[in-house]
């Protein structure tokens, strides 16, 4: 596929994600009014009977960039400061892909060779990011899924907890070398991110970015990454 065709395909795919996200929240009449596209045409797009022509796709994306900010997408799933039920955000494929797109935009220009999902809930977004960018995908787990010879433990402890917990990381993370992006759904404690960063550094894997959907402001500001590591939180909570 040529670069020009790939760009057109990505534009159309992103536009369909925006339409399907909006259709969950508006009826076709309202959607047609917002996007200035006939209801019958939008119906075919949503049902997958046809794909938007490039002019429509660009119009949809321009509207989305103006009114669908990543922080607004995330805020919809946050009840004030309460994160109970926040995991619902990864059950909507269109939202997952739009957030992966926002992560790509946030780290444009950074050397990203691999993405590591810190928790299983971040895996859908990390997977979409890896697919869209062609980077390697890794994930931490609560057990040595790859066998003890192909993984290593990372111990951490939350404040006030009596005993440490453990996450297992595949040894293949070394393939990311000097360009690993850490991705998590929420940062409410320093652990396990601090311990993960330290463990990766010991294995000569440089963390070049940290991405989270939500974070507590104090914890996020105190979190220290390696030199030149970029941190990006879509939504900060007080």
pLDDT value of residue 40: 93
* Predicted confidence (pLDDT) per residue in 110-128, tens digit: 999 999 999 999 999 999 9
pLDDT in tens, 116-164: 999 999 999 999 999 988 999 999 999 998 888 999 999 999 877 788 9
Structural domain of residue 171, as residue ranges? 86-237
207, 175 contact by CB (below 8 A): no
Which tokens sit at 54?
């490039």
If asked whether residues 133 and 20 sit together in one domain, one would say no
Inside any domain, residue 76: no
Q: Are residues 55 and 90 in the same domain?
A: no
Residues in the chain where the model's pLDDT stays below 50? 1-6
Considering only CA atoms, which of 154, 163, 120 is closest in space to residue 138? 120
Same structural domain, 233 and 140: yes
User: Quick check: is 218 in a domain?
Assistant: yes
In a domain, 75, yes or no: no
What pLDDT score does 5 carry? 44
Q: Rounded CA gap, 42 and 35, in Å?
A: 9
Q: Has residue 73 been placed in a domain?
A: no
Domain shared by 64 and 122, yes or no = no
Residues 43 and 99 in one domain: no
Q: State whether 55 and 92 are in the same domain.
A: no
Do 126 and 8 sit in the same domain of this protein? no
If asked whether residues 183 and 125 sit together in one domain, one would say: yes
Confidence (pLDDT) at 158? 83
Q: What is the total count of domains within the chain? A: 2
Question: Taking a C-beta distance cutoff of 8 angstroms, is the pair 93, 99 a contact?
Answer: no
| Domain contains 97 | yes
Whether residue 209 lies inside any domain: the answer is: yes
Give the 3-state secondary structure of residue 204: coil
- 113 and 182 share a domain? yes
Domain end (from 36, 68, 100): 68
Q: What is the mean pLDDT of the chain?
A: 89
The answer on 159 and 57 residing in a single domain is: no
Helix (H, G, I), strand (E, B) or coil at 63: helix
Q: Using an 8 Å Cβ cutoff, are 110 and 135 in contact? A: no
Residues with Cβ within 8 Å of residue 90, at least 6 apart in sequence:
96, 121, 122, 124, 125, 185
CATH number where 105 lies: 3.40.50.2020
Distance CA 110, CA 229 (A): 9
Q: In whole angstroms, how far apart are CA 232 and each of 86, 107, 119?
A: 18, 9, 17
133 and 217 housed in the same domain: yes
For residue 3, the model assigns a pLDDT of 37
Q: Is the dihedral of CA 66, 68, 69, 72 positive or negative?
A: positive
CB atoms under 10 Å from CB of 179, counted, come to 19
Q: Would you state the pLDDT for residue 2?
A: 34
Residue 203 lies in a domain: yes
Tell me which residue has tokens 């950074």. Answer: 110
Domain-embedded: residue 22: yes
Q: How far apart are CA 98 and CA 202, in angstroms?
A: 34
Q: Is the pTM of this model over 0.95?
A: no
The greatest distance separating any two alpha carbons of the chain, rounded to the nearest whole angstrom, comes to 60
């Amino acid at each position: 596929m040529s670069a020009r065709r790939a760009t057109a395909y990505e534009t159309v795919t992103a536009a369909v994600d925006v339409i399907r996200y909006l259709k969950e929240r508006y009826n076709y009449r309202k959607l047609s009014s917002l996007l200035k596209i006939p209801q019958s045409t939008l119906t075919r797009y949503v049902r997958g009977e046809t794909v938007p022509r490039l002019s429509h796709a660009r119009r949809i994306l321009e509207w989305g960039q103006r009114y669908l900010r990543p922080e607004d997408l995330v805020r919809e799933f946050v009840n004030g400061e309460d994160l109970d039920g926040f995991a619902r955000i990864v059950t909507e494929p269109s939202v997952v892909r739009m957030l992966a797109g926002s992560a790509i935009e946030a780290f444009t220009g950074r050397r990203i060779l691999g993405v590591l999902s810190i928790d299983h809930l971040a895996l859908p977004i990390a997977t979409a990011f890896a697919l869209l960018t062609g980077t390697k995908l890794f994930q931490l787990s609560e057990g040595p899924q790859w066998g003890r010879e192909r993984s290593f433990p990372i111990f951490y402890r939350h404040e006030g907890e009596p005993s440490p917990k453990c996450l297992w990381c595949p040894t293949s993370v070394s393939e990311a070398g000097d360009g690993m992006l850490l991705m998590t759904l929420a940062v409410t404690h320093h652990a396990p991110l601090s311990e993960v960063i330290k463990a990766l550094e010991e294995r000569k894997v440089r963390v070049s970015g940290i991405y989270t959907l939500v974070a507590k402001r104090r914890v996020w500001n105190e979190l220290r990454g390696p030199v030149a590591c970029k941190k990006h939180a879509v939504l900060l909570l007080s």
